[in-house]
Amino acid sequence: MTHASSAPPSPADRVTLDGHIAGVGTQEGTRFVVGRWLSSPLGAFADVMVERADGTRVLLAPSDDVAALVTRLYTFDAVHVVDVRVAADRAARTWTVEAGPLDARIEIGPRTPIGHLLHGLPRAVTRAGATAGVVAAVAGVVLPGVRTRGTGDDGTPERYAAHDQHAVVGVDARWGDRLLGALRPVEPAVRFGFSSVPAQPAVTAVHVVIG
């Protein structure tokens, strides 16, 4: 569709999400990105982007509305609408993920060095559009392959404001009846859209602005 005006979207047109993104690699070669969204226009939900060892990219979404939002911005070879559940146990420091063929238990470790830096900044600074360019430049140096702003597949501007990060220190996962093996870096980088997740598995707290 061609738009008559190239004016930037108004705040009323923007979509914001608050939550966490976990990026995990496995010995088998499957890498996956779990979004645990505590606040969004669609309510609280979770979704999983998976890249199998052979390069096949799969979206596991809990509803057609979530699938429509995510596929506006990112590219997949297959999209499946399935029950997606992420149970976060703060005491045990684990996430339990159930999403169609994927079952995973993610173990969360200490705050990363970049997490200490982000956690020490006022939330207003990490979220401000005026500082987005500086944050993006720093992220590109500290976390190669990670971009905090760009455009979705449909041309919509998108910005990630990270405000904390913890290491992922273990995973027990299977895809269907296949065990995925021990935790590994997210390498090669996943290829869903304009940015990847850090190579070192981590859970990052983020505020996302789309539009």
Q: Is residue 5 part of a domain?
A: no
pLDDT in tens, 163-178: 899 999 999 999 999 9
7 domain residue, yes or no: no
pLDDT 10s digits, 25-75: 999 999 999 999 999 999 999 999 999 999 999 999 999 999 999 999 999
197 neighbors 191 (Cβ within 8 angstroms): no
Q: Which domain holds residue 43?
A: 13-210
Domain-located, residue 2:
no
* Average confidence (pLDDT) over 108-121: 87
* Mean pLDDT of the chain, nearest integer: 85
Q: What is the residue whose two structure tokens read 């430049």?
A: 137
Statement: residue 4 has pLDDT above 70: no
Rounded Cα gap, residues 17 and 83, in angstroms: 20
Task: Concatenate the DSSP letters of all residues of 71-128 into one string.
Answer: HHH---SEEEE--EEEEEETTTTEEEEEETTEEEEEEEEEEPHHHHHHHTS-HHHHH-
Q: What is the pLDDT of residues 131-171, one digit of tens each?
A: 444 444 444 444 545 566 778 888 888 888 888 999 999 99
**Residue 1 in domain:** no
Q: How far is CA 85 from the centre of its chain?
A: 15
Domain count, the chain: 1
Q: What is the pLDDT of residue 103?
A: 98
